[in-house]
Amino acid sequence: DIVMTQSPDSLAVSLGERATINCKSSQSVLYRDNSLDYLAWYQQKPGQPPKLLIYWASTRESGVPDRFSGSGSGTDFTLTISSLQAEDVAVYYCQQYYSPPITFGQGTRLEIK
């Protein structure tokens, strides 16, 4: 199984500041034939199901604010929130879909400082 490890486990950032969440996979999720990274990011607010933010490591889902961006390739990925808003308080998960079983990171809790 591909193990997804996120860091940090929790993060406190001031409003308007940048938040950065990391995700590392135990093996590459880059499919060389199409140069795509098989990685997605989700946001889960309390009492709600996960919401898709980003897929193919850096493609923003329709309707997701452009302050959210994804980067990285191979085994190392980053979700960046450029200017933290109060409504961004949530737990964030990465997910690989390169190789079954589909696996998720353990989650990163983002709070306001």
Q: What angle do CA 15, 53, 79 make, to 5 degrees?
A: 60
Give whichever of 9 and 16 is closer to other proteins, judged by the CB atom.
9
Tell me the closest approach of the beta carbon of residue 43 to other proteins, in angstroms.
12
Best CA proximity match to 2, nearest among 28, 34, 32: 28
Q: Is 101 helix (H, G, I), strand (E, B) or coil?
A: coil
Give whichever of 67 and 91 is closer to other proteins, judged by the CB atom.
91
Enumerate binding residues for other proteins (CB under 8 A): 1, 31, 33-34, 36, 38, 40, 48-52, 55, 61, 93, 95, 97-107
Best CA proximity match to 4, nearest among 20, 31, 28: 28
Give whichever of 16 and 49 is closer to other proteins, judged by the CB atom.
49
